[in-house]
Structure 1
Amino acid sequence: MTPRLFDLSSTWHLPATPEEVWAIIADVNMSWPNWWPDCSFAAPLVRTEPESNSQEDILKATTSYLNFKAVLGYTLTISIHPTMVVTPKEIEFDAGGHLEGNGKVTLSPEAHGSATRMDIEWRIRPTQRWMNVLTPIAARAFTAAHTLMMRRGETGLRRALAEGTAKQPK
């Protein structure tokens, strides 16, 4: 059985400049678990020697291992490894673990640059047997759980932006 490909997309509208959003989402120490309620570290960051000390090269030399807890009760462990970084506009990444594929985050200014549209795209396949067996009947539930998890992430990022920074590590 070939695992189903999921094309998932989300758009977040954030009340901050692209540079302010970028400072949090592209933090080289991966602050997502500090502001995203359903996200936690599954393992320490793995970093190879970057080509330079630039944020772009440090990000491309980093792999994050994150747990995402779905409202349906399961947790997915996903590795995220940036493959292309254009500050402060775009990050493309490979994903592995319980979901394999790739993704992309794109920031676009809105409201004359005082707000940001963040488009998030995932093209992934589940690797867990139970998900692949249930996908024919549960794909809509999996997609709905993803949508809710992303909305909670948007709310957490809005909160972090309002505070002016990501909170200290959990």
Structure 2
Amino acid sequence: MTSRLFDLNSTWHLPATPEYVWAVIADIDMSWPQWWPHCTFAAPLSRTEAKSNSQEDILKATTACLNFKASLGYTLTISIHPTEVAAPRKIDFDAGGNLNGTGRVLLTAENQGQATRMDIEWRVRPTQRWMNLLTPIAAPAFTAAHALMMRQGEKGLIKALAKQTPASAK
């Protein structure tokens, strides 16, 4: 049985400059569990030797394994490994674990550079047998659970940016 490809897209509008948003979402220690509700580390960060000390190369040498608890009660464990990094605007990544595929995060300045539009694209296939069996009837529920999880992430990031953003970065 070939699993269904899910194209999942989200757009977040964030009240900080792209550079500041980048500093939070692309930090090399992966702070997502600090601000994203229902997101936790499934394992410590894994890092191979980076080509240089640049943030881009360190990110490309890093794999994060995260748990996301969905509103429907299940937890997905997803590994995220950046494959292309162009600070402060784009990260392409491979996804593994319970969802296998690729993703992209794009940052675009809004409001004369004082706000940021963050577009998040996922092209993934479930790897768990139960999800593949239920997908023909549960795909709309899975997609809705993803949308809710993403809205929670957006709200969490907005709160984190409000607490941490210096006045000059807003």
In structure 1, the residue matched to 2:26 is 26
Unaligned runs of 5+ in 1: 166-170
In structure 2, the residue matched to 1:92 is 92
Structure 1 residue 38, shift from structure 2 partner: 1.6
In structure 2, the residue matched to 1:168 is none
1:64-143 equivalences in 2 (<5 Å): 64-143=64-143
Question: Secondary structure of 1:43's partner?
Answer: coil
Question: Secondary structure of 1:29's partner?
Answer: coil
- Quick one: which amino acid aligns to residue 152 of structure 1? Q
Unaligned runs of 5+ in 2: 166-170
User: Between Structure 1 and Structure 2, how many residues are aligned?
Assistant: 165
Q: Deviations over 1:36-62 (max 9, x none)?
A: 002100000000000000000000000
Structure 1 residue 24, shift from structure 2 partner: 0.4
Deviant stretches of 4+, over 4 Å: none
Question: Secondary structure of 1:73's partner?
Answer: coil
Percent identity over the alignment? 75
- Quick one: which amino acid aligns to residue 143 of structure 1? T
- Quick one: which amino acid aligns to residue 37 of structure 1? P
User: Under a length normalisation based on structure 2, what TM-score does the superposition of the two structures give?
Assistant: 0.96
Q: Deviations over 1:64-88 (max 9, x none)?
A: 0000000000000000000000000
Q: Deviations over 1:2-42 (max 9, x none)?
A: 00000000000000000010000001000000000021000
Q: What is the RMSD of the two structures over their aligned residues, measured on CA atoms?
A: 0.6
Distance across 1 between alignment mates of 2:112 and 2:164: 20
Distance across 2 between alignment mates of 1:27 and 1:33: 12
Distance across 2 between alignment mates of 1:2 and 1:63: 26
User: Under a length normalisation based on structure 1, what TM-score does the superposition of the two structures give?
Assistant: 0.96
